Amino acid sequence: MSPTSFTPWDHIKQAIKAMIPNLEYTSWIAPLECSSVNSNQLLIKAPNMLFYQKIHDSYLPLIEKIKTELELDHYMIQFDTVNQGAEDSIEELHDLDAVPPHMASGHQLAPKTPTKAFQAESHLNPQYTFANFVKGASNQFAMSTCQAVANKPGQSYNPLFLCGSSGLGKTHLLHAVGNEVIKQNPDATVAYITSERFMNEMIYCIRFGQTLEFRQKYRNCDVLLIDDVQFISGGKKATQEEFFHTFNSLYGAKKQIVMTSDVLPQSIPDIEDRLRNRFQWGLIADIQPPSIEHRVEILIKKASVLGIKLDLDVAEYIARNKKKDIRELEGAVLRLRAFSEIDNVPITLHLAQTIFQDFFVADAPKKLTVEDIQKTVADHFKIKIADLKSKRKHAAIAHPRQVAMFLARKLTPASLPELGQKFGGKDHTTVLHNVKKIERAIVSDLDLRAVVNSLQRNLEHLY
């Protein structure tokens, strides 16, 4: 990179500068340099691990928000420390309490006595409450189970495993559990952590000889909230091991554990079976993409939190075009506000159309076809597409066929007769019968529900 080139990271930094006190900016943000940019990633170098922790804890939500506002969401921000090697060294450390002397050098040594950093700190976002969460058919099961857990930690569903695609409110609900627990019992110790940070903090503690404090912190809390647990698979063996013992110790003491993941436990790659197994011990609650009515409601709520009254036609226009990710809905509201403030004009449908029309056309997803569904379902059940279209009645064929018909009915606009035709010339009443059968079964059969939801998620990620 030439020294004069202005990277997306520089734009982000400038926006942050305008939003936080100068001293904070020069202390924490200015030293962060972008070391490489490619089409979808910005690699940011932090001077050391301590710095990284600070950014992670205090500035990440702001950075993410600004990224959305500047329409830079397609960049993933990856942090790296200038001082490499800590993570690799973890593999060499069978005794986690041992601190290799070379690793302690070159850093400011943290004090050995428990510091404030190791007293219970929850990292909860006060905005992420149940009151600020808009309930709809797609998330009400997850929300109700979270509320039950918050009202009686450790007593209702333990562990609770929240599962859903990115941007559908998992982190929000996780914080809401923590905020509610503390509201009802201010003395409760709640720890919120992402699995990535769990890993990094552990590395940091090994480096500074604070593994005991690390263990105390996470094994002695009343409620442990672990976000994005799927990333534990990217970690080293020692992280999984530590997490396994943390889990056991909390579970054994009847302390509440809530986890989130964008895939089901059975689909998290590269984790030890004993860990996967524990993830499945309690209840799995999934969150699905919201319906258009639900999206409209969320948009109006998000706008009102920002002090904006959003008209129904504007909300509907955005909701019709932004379908998958609630984060995008928030981004759209922020963008509307920015344009309306800069140009000093009211937020109207006309303004929304002017701002978004090009983006929405570019975003328009390719339509999912019945053939996509047949292929995905056939692959999952390891049968042939021709079997789905056949008249074979054996359960190994008939069941996947019912699932495929159910998903095709749900995810495509095809009519029942059209579906009949695509499934080898069947009558529309047969299709309806099959669709209804799955519809009824998934109410009580949680395994089937998990399979159907996971297939749906895979299909929605196709385009």
Tell me how crowded residue 239 is: count the other CB atoms within 10 A of its CB.
22
CA distances from 259 to 56, 105, 243 (A): 19, 35, 12
Minimum distance, C-beta of residue 215 to ligand ADP, in the bound complex (Å): 27
Using the rule CB under 6 A, give the single segment among 37-45, 170-178, 214-222, 405-413 that binds ligand ADP.
170-178
Nearer to ligand ADP, 91 or 363 (CB): 363
133 touches which of Mg ion, ligand ADP, none (CB within 5 to 8 A by kind)?
ligand ADP
**Taking CB under 6 A as the criterion, which residues in 36-75 touch ligand ADP?**
none
124 touches which of Mg ion, ligand ADP, none (CB within 5 to 8 A by kind)?
none
CA distance 307 to 141: 29
Size of the site for ligand ADP (CB under 6 A): 17
Using the rule CB under 6 A, give the single segment among 106-114, 161-169, 185-193, 266-274 that binds ligand ADP.
161-169
Nearer to ligand ADP, 138 or 376 (CB): 138
Using the rule CB under 6 A, give the single segment among 96-104, 163-171, 338-346, 436-444 that binds ligand ADP.
163-171
279 touches which of ligand ADP, Mg ion, none (CB within 5 to 8 A by kind)?
none
Nearer to Mg ion, 171 or 211 (CB): 171
Among 13, 56, 67, 172, binds ligand ADP (CB under 6 A): 172
Among 81, 122, 158, 171, binds ligand ADP (CB under 6 A): 171
Q: Is 166 in the site for ligand ADP (CB under 6 A)?
A: yes
CA distances from 39 to 34, 36, 77 (A): 14, 10, 12
**Taking CB under 6 A as the criterion, which residues in 239-298 touch ligand ADP?**
298
264 touches which of ligand ADP, Mg ion, none (CB within 5 to 8 A by kind)?
none
259, 160 contact by CB (below 8 A): yes
Closest by CA to 175, choosing from 228, 125, 227, is: 125
**Taking CB under 5 A as the criterion, which residues in 170-209 touch Mg ion?**
171
Tokens describing residue 438: 């799955």
Tell me how crowded residue 74 is: count the other CB atoms within 10 A of its CB.
10
Size of the site for Mg ion (CB under 5 A): 1
Query: Residue 383 corresponds to which amino acid?
Result: I
CA distance 354 to 351: 5
Among 159, 169, 178, 331, binds ligand ADP (CB under 6 A): 169
Burial of 430 (0-12, 13-18, 19+ CB in 10 A): middle
Site string for ligand ADP, 129-148 (x = CB under 6 A): ----xx----x---------
* Burial call 269-297: b when 16+ CB within 10 Å, e when fewer: eebeeebeebbeebbbbbbbbbeeebbbb
327 touches which of ligand ADP, Mg ion, none (CB within 5 to 8 A by kind)?
ligand ADP
Q: Using CB positions, name the residue nearest to ligand ADP.
A: 169
454, 264 contact by CB (below 8 A): yes
406, 416 contact by CB (below 8 A): no
User: How far, in whole angstroms, is CA 114 from its chain's centroid?
Assistant: 31
Using the rule CB under 5 A, give the single segment among 92-100, 166-174, 185-193, 304-312 that binds Mg ion.
166-174
Among 46, 326, 431, 455, binds ligand ADP (CB under 6 A): 326
CA distance 277 to 365: 36
235: left (phi over 0), alpha (psi -120 to 50) or beta: beta
Question: Applying CB under 6 A, which residues contact ligand ADP?
Answer: 128, 133-134, 139, 164, 166-172, 298, 301, 326-327, 330
Question: Applying CB under 5 A, which residues contact Mg ion?
Answer: 171
